[in-house]
Amino acid sequence: MEDRSGHFAGDEPIAIVRSWMAEAEATELNDAAAVALATVDSAGMPNVRMVLLKRVSEDGLQFFTNHGSAKARELQDTGKAALVMHWKSLRRQIRVRGRVERQDGPETDAYFKSRSPGSRYGAWASRQSQILGSREEMEHRLRDVRTRLGPDPHRPEFWGGYRLLPSEVEFWSDAPDRLHDRFLWRRAEGGSGWIVQRLWP
């Protein structure tokens, strides 16, 4: 069996993801949970943008956004996405691909309430991904939202969570002479267990 000692060791990929993220939280200057999320639009054109990963568990990798945004529309249309986490301080990255499920309800409400009031007002005010005429228009809308919703805004119906359910997880670690270490975890047929393979750099 291929040796996966050190930071590649583990029997479940999600446990390794969480371990690497915990290390990154201690070494990265900013947003260790920032990930590049890739989607595809109806014409097959890819899109990628940074989002914050808010929860990593056996249930999947969770992030939140406006359901009217370009990313949300593309997630809804295809039901699939990919993401990459890259930490320069650790010289490591993780790539994940899989299906995506929309999440609303009590868990999403609780996360929204945990955000700062300013972030909650911003979520209400933003018509994410739509054309904005001016900064002043946005600030006017924000003032209106603050007046209308009061000091404790609840979650709007157009804002919520998504969960990426991994079918593939690839771990990459920098090595001398660009002979990097890469291990690909792929869901076994039927979804029970994982197949692990070392990849050429």
Q: Report the catalytic residues.
A: 178
Rounded CA gap, 193 and 186, in Å?
9
Residue with tokens 């359910």: 165
Residue with tokens 């029997």: 11
Please name every residue paired with 162 in a beta bridge, in sequence order, or none if there are none. Answer: 63, 102
Report residue 24 CA to chain centroid gap. 15
Is residue 182 within 8 Å of residue 170, measured between CB atoms?
yes
- H-type helices in 9-158, by residue range? 13-27, 70-78, 106-114, 117-125, 135-149
- What single-letter DSSP state applies at residue 50? E
69 Cβ contact list (under 8 Å, min separation 6): 128, 129
